[in-house]
Chains A and B, each alone.
Chain A
C-alpha cells in the first residue's frame, strides 16, 4: 500500500518537474532549409543527421512523393521528396541537395530538401500558432506546427510527427 502511494507521489512530482522544465525552456533550436521558395524548419532534436544524396531503391505502389528506401549504415529508411509532398514539381538533384534524416518516437525517415540554410535559435515567445485558415479543425495530420518570427523574415516550423505519419 505504502509503495503504491509512494509511486503515485513520485509520479506527481515528476509531472510537476516536467511542466517546470517546459516553462524554463525558452529558446527553441531549429534547422532551417529551403523547399522551392520557402524557408522551413524542423526542431534540431528531431534531426538524426544530414547527409549528401546517396542511391536509393524504388518501392512499388506508394505515392509519388515516396521516392523509395535507402541504406543508412545498415538500417533501411524511407526517402520522401518534400517538394512533391508539398505539391511542387520535383527537380534534379543539385550540389546543394541533402537528405535530412528525421526521427520521432519509433519512426525515422529521410527527406529530400533543396538546400540547407542555417541553425535557428528562436524565442518561444516569437513562435505563433499558424493562422487559423491553415488549420482544418483538429487535424493532427497538419504538416505545419507553428510559425516562427525572425528579425527579417518568418520561418515555417514543420510538424515532425505529421511528416513521419504514413498517409496512404
Chain B
C-alpha cells in the first residue's frame, strides 16, 4: 500500500511539472503550428500522464488523456492542422486534466470529483473523427510503424488497448446514466464506443501483461526529459524550514557575539588577545552570513514558476475579449523565496487581467489612436538591492484620473473634500480600494471590484510596496517591490521613550530629522511637507500608547515608511541603527496584536518587537496626534499643606549612612523612602505613584552609581527640576564638576553635621527656615 502511495506522490510531482511546461508549449504551438519538435514534446507529456495514470488505476484521468493523445497524435502526423478552435478544445482538456490531478492530490483518486469529462472527450473525438480518417490511421499505426520513434509507437499501441478496455467498461456505466439526460452526446459516445469495442475486441487477450507496460513505457520518456535538466534532488520544504530556523538562531548568536566583542574591546583596549578574538569573531560572522545566504538560495525558486501560466492566461483573455495582446516576459530566471512565490501568483493574475481588460484597447480604438493593432503587456522581473521588482507594463489607454475620481465619488469611496486634496499618485491608488471598479458592467473577466483589493492585501502581507505610473493614452506601469525573504530581514531599530522597536527596512524609504516648527497641523492631524509631498505624521509613542516620560528635543526624527500604495512618517525619539533580525512569533497567547508583526532577540539578549507596517498605517489613521500639544504639562506637585506630604528619597548602599540621614531629617517631619542602589531608586522613581520632592544620592554604589542615576533621572521631563543632592566622601574638584554636569543640585561632602544636611534639604524643599 505504501509503495503505491509513494509512486502516486512521485507521479503527482512529475505530472504537475509536466503540465506547467505543457501550457506554455501549447500557446507557443499555436503561433508556430508547424513546429514538430514542440508537438512531439506535448504529445509525450499527454502520453506519459496517460501511462502513469492507467498504472495507478486513475480511470477518468486515463480516459481523458487518451482522447487528448488521439488528437495530438493526429496533429503530429499532420493528419489534422491545429486551428484555434481545436486549440481551445485541447486547452480545455488540459484544464480538466489539471482539475483531475488536483482532485487526485487532495483525495487520492479521480472518480469522486465533480468533473465531467464526457463533453470534452466528445469534442476531442469529434476533432479526430472530423477528418474522417480515424479508422485508416488506426490501421496505419498498427501495420506500419513510423520510421522515427519506432519504440514509442509500439508501446503506444499496447497502451491504447488497455485504455480501450477500461474505457469500454466506463463508457457502459456512463451511458446508462446519460440515457435519461443527454440523448445527443449519447449518440456520439455510443458511436465512439462501438468503434472502441471493435478495436478492443482485436486484442483483449493479455490484459494483465499489458497493464504493466505503460510503466515501462514512461521510463525512457522520463530519462530523456530529465537529462536536459540540472542535477537536482527533491527535498521536503519542512526540512528547509527547519534549517532556516536553525540558521536564525545562529544569526542571533552572531549578533550577540558581536555585541560582546564590542564590550570587551572597550574594556581591554590595546590588549594583544583582542586581535585574535577579532579574527575569530569576524570569521564566524562572515561564515554565518554566507551560510544564511546559501540556505536562502536553496529556498529560492525562479519566478518563471509563476510567470509560466500567464502566456496561456493572456491568450485565453485576448480571445475572450476579442483583442490582440502580446505578452512579453523577461527576467523570469530571477529568484524568490518559495513562500513568496506562492503569494505573488494571485496578485499578478489580477493585475494582468486588469491590464488586458481595462488597459489594452479594442483593435479599432488602437488604430484610431495610431497604435499598433497588437497591444503589448510586458512582465519583467529584476533584482534591486534586497528586493525583487516585478513590473507589469502595458501600452493601453492609461489611467484617467478624472474618471477615477468620478467613479470613486459615485461609489462613495472618497468624499468631495478628499478628492480635492489628492495627488496624482493617490488617485491612481484608488484602484486598490475595495469595491472600486471602473467597468460599467460585471463581466467574466472583471468588474466586481475585488481583484485589485486582493493585490493590495497580498502585497502588504509580504511587506511589499506597490507603485503605479500611468500616462493617459500611453499606458500604465505597475511596479511591485517585494523583499527577497521573510524569515531573516534587515531592520531599522528605533527608540521611542524607553522602548525600542524594529521596522523592516524594506518598508523604510528614508529617515529625516526636522525641527519641530516644520510640522503643520491639518484637521488635527500632523503633517510634514517633505520636498513636494505632504506626509502624514504620527508619533510611535501615540500609536502604541507609550507613556510620555522623556522630553523630545528641538528636532524630531522621522522614519518615512511606505507600504503598498501609501506612505507615512513615523516620529521617533532615537534612531539606533540597522541590524539583521530574525523574526520570531510572539506565541499563541499574544499573537495578533495590532501593529506588532513579531519579535526578535537582540545582541544583548533583550526582546525587541517588530512593527507590522501595514497595521501601523491603519492604527495611525485612528491615532490622535500630539506632537504639538506635548509637554507644558502642569508643573507637578500641588500645594503641600503639611510637611508630611513632602517625600524625600535616600539612595545609599550603606545602612549606617541611611540611618544618619534619616536621623538628620527626622526633625523636619517629612516622609522618607530608602533605596540601596541606583537601580532600585530608578525603579521606585519610575513606578511609584508618589512624586518625590528631593532625592539624596550617594555617589559610590553597586550596580548603578550616583552620577548615572542622576543622569537617568534628568531624562524624565517631570523630574527636570527635582532637587538632587549628592552626599559623598568624594571631595575632589573633578568629582564636583562631574556632579554638576549630570545635573546634581547640591553637593554635600561627608562628613557633615546633621543640621547642615537638614538645612540643605529644607532649602531645596523651600520649607520655611527657622
With known contacts A55-B606, A71-B607, A74-B601, A62–B586 Cβ distance under 8 A = no
A166 to chain B: closest residue by CB: B589
Task: Check if B593 sits within 8 Å of A71, measured CB to CB.
Answer: no
Is there a chain A Cβ closer than 8 Å to B532's Cβ? no
Given A71-B607, A92-B684, decide whether A62 and B590 contact each other with a Cβ distance below 8 A.
yes
* Cross-chain contact A61 with B499 (CB below 8 angstroms): no
Q: Tell which of B543, B546, B587, B601 touches A108, judged by Cβ atoms closer than 8 Å.
A: B587
A147 to chain B, nearest CB (A): 26
Are A57 and B544 in contact, with the CB atoms below 8 A?
A: no
User: Once the chains bind, are A74 and B249 in contact (CB under 8 Å)?
Assistant: yes
Q: How far is the CB of B253 from chain A (nearest CB, A)?
A: 9
Provide the bound-state CA to CA distance between A71 and B687, in Å.
Answer: 23
- Partner of A77 from the list B545, B587, B609 (CB cut-off 8 Å) is B587
Q: Does A107 contact B (CB under 8 A)?
A: yes
A-B pair count, CB < 8 Å, reads 72
The answer on a CB contact under 8 Å between B587 and A107 is yes
Residues of B within 8 A of A61 (CB): 544-545, 593-595
Query: Are B544 and A107 neighbours in the complex by a CB distance under 8 Å?
Result: no
Is B252 touching A57 in the complex (CB atoms < 8 A)? Answer: no
B interface footprint on A62-83 (CB within 8 Å = 1, 0 otherwise): 1000101111001111100000
Shortest Cβ distance from B257 into chain A, in angstroms? 14
Query: Is the CB of B588 closer than 8 A to any CB of chain A?
Result: yes
A109 in the interface (beta carbon within 8 A): yes
Q: Does B584 contact A (CB under 8 A)?
A: yes
A160 part of interface (Cβ distance < 8 Å): no
Name the interface residues of B540-566: CB closer than 8 Å to any CB of A: 543-546
Per the bound structure, the CA–CA distance linking A131 and B612 in Å amounts to: 45
Residue on B with the closest CB to A58? Answer: B499
Closest residue of A by beta carbon distance from B599: A76
List chain A residues, Cβ under 8 A from B543: 60
Check B586–A76 contact: CB distance below 8 A: yes
Known contacts: A61-B595, A92-B684. The answer to whether A78 contacts B589 by CB under 8 A is yes
**A69 and B599: CB pair below 8 A?**
yes
| Residue among B545, B589, B593 with the highest chain A CB neighbour number at 10 A | B589
Binding site for B on A (CB under 8 A): 55-62, 66, 68-71, 74-78, 92, 106-109, 164, 166
Contacts of B589 in A (CB 8 A): 78, 107, 109, 164, 166
Main SS at interface, chain B: mixed
Query: Given A57-B609, A70-B607, A76 and B587 touching (CB < 8 A)?
Result: yes
Contacts of B595 in A (CB 8 A): 60-61
Minimum CB–CB distance for A83 against chain B, Å: 13
Could you show 24 A-B contacts with beta carbons less than 8 Å apart? Answer: A57-B607, A57-B608, A58-B499, A59-B590, A59-B609, A60-B543, A60-B609, A61-B593, A62-B590, A62-B593, A66-B590, A69-B586, A74-B252, A76-B585, A76-B586, A76-B599, A76-B607, A78-B587, A78-B589, A92-B683, A107-B589, A108-B587, A164-B589, A166-B589
Query: Is there a chain A Cβ closer than 8 Å to B605's Cβ?
Result: yes
Does B596 reach chain A (CB closer than 8 Å)?
yes
* A106 and B588 contact, Cβ closer than 8 Å, known pairs A56-B607, A71-B606: yes
Give bound CA distance, A66 to B589, whole Å: 10
| Total count of chain B residues near the partner, CB < 8 A | 28
A60 to B590, CA, bound (A): 11
Most-contacted residue by chain A among B545, B585, B606, B683 (CB, 10 A): B606
Contacts of A59 in B (CB 8 A): 586, 590, 593, 596, 609
The residues of B with any CB-CB pair to A shorter than 8 Å are: 249, 252, 499, 543-546, 584-590, 593-596, 599, 601, 605-609, 683-684, 687
Q: How far is the CB of A74 from chain B (nearest CB, A)?
A: 6
Among A55, A59, A166, the most chain B Cβ lie within 10 Å of the Cβ of A59
Q: Which residues of B contact A78 (CB under 8 A)?
A: 586-587, 589-590
Closest to A106 in B: B588
Task: Name which residue of chain A comes closest to B605, CB basis.
Answer: A71
Q: What A residues does B545 contact at CB under 8 A?
A: 60-61
**How distant is the Cα of A106 from the Cα of B587 in the complex, in angstroms?**
9
Chain A, Cβ-Cβ closest to B547: A58
**Complex CA distance for A60 and B596, rounded to whole angstroms:** 9
The CA-CA distance from A69 to B609 in the complex, in Å, is: 9
Q: Given the complex of chains A and B, what is the CA–CA distance between A77 and B595 in angstroms?
A: 18
**A57 and B587 within 8 A (CB):** no
A71 to B599, CA, bound (A): 10
Chain B residues whose CB sits within 8 angstroms of the CB of A76 once the complex forms: 584-587, 599, 601, 607
Q: How far is the CB of A153 from the nearest CB of chain B, in Å?
A: 31
Residues of A within 8 A of B683 (CB): 92
Give the Cβ gap from B441 to chain A, nearest Cβ, in Å.
44
A106 — which chain B residues lie within 8 A by C-beta? 588
Taking A62-B593, A164-B589 as contacts, is the C-beta distance between A57 and B606 under 8 angstroms? yes
Chain A, Cβ-Cβ closest to B589: A78
Contacts A61-B544, A62-B593 known; 20 new A-B pairs at CB < 8 A: A55-B606, A56-B607, A57-B609, A58-B499, A59-B590, A59-B593, A60-B543, A60-B546, A60-B595, A60-B609, A69-B609, A71-B605, A74-B601, A76-B586, A76-B607, A77-B587, A78-B587, A92-B683, A108-B587, A109-B587
In the docked arrangement, what's the CA distance between A66 and B590, Å? 9
In the bound assembly, the distance between CA atoms of A29 and B38 in angstroms comes to: 73
- In the complex, what residues of A have CB within 8 A of residue B584's CB? 75-76
Residues of chain A within 8 A (CB-CB) of B588 are 106-107, 166
In the complex, chain B residues whose CB is within 8 Å of the CB of A109:
587, 589
For the complex, give the distance between the alpha carbons of A107 and B585 in Å: 12
Most buried by B among A62, A74, A77, A92: A74
Which residues in B have their C-beta under 8 angstroms from that of A77? 587
* A66 to B601 Cα, complex, angstroms: 19
Bound state CA distance, A45 and B588, in angstroms?
20
9 nearest CB pairs, A to B: A60-B544, A57-B607, A78-B589, A107-B588, A76-B599, A78-B590, A71-B607, A69-B607, A71-B601
Which residues of B sit under 8 angstroms from A108, Cβ to Cβ? 587
Question: Nearest CB to that of A60 among chain B residues?
Answer: B544
Complex Cα distance, B586 from A109, in Å, reads 10
Residues of A within 8 A of B596 (CB): 59-60
| Min CB gap A128→B, angstroms | 29
Chain A: CB-nearest residue to B500: A57
- Tell me the complex Cα distance, A69–B252, Å: 17
From A57, A62, A164, contact of B499 by CB (8 A): A57
Contact B593 A60 (CB under 8 A): yes
Bound complex: CA A61 to CA B252 (Å): 27
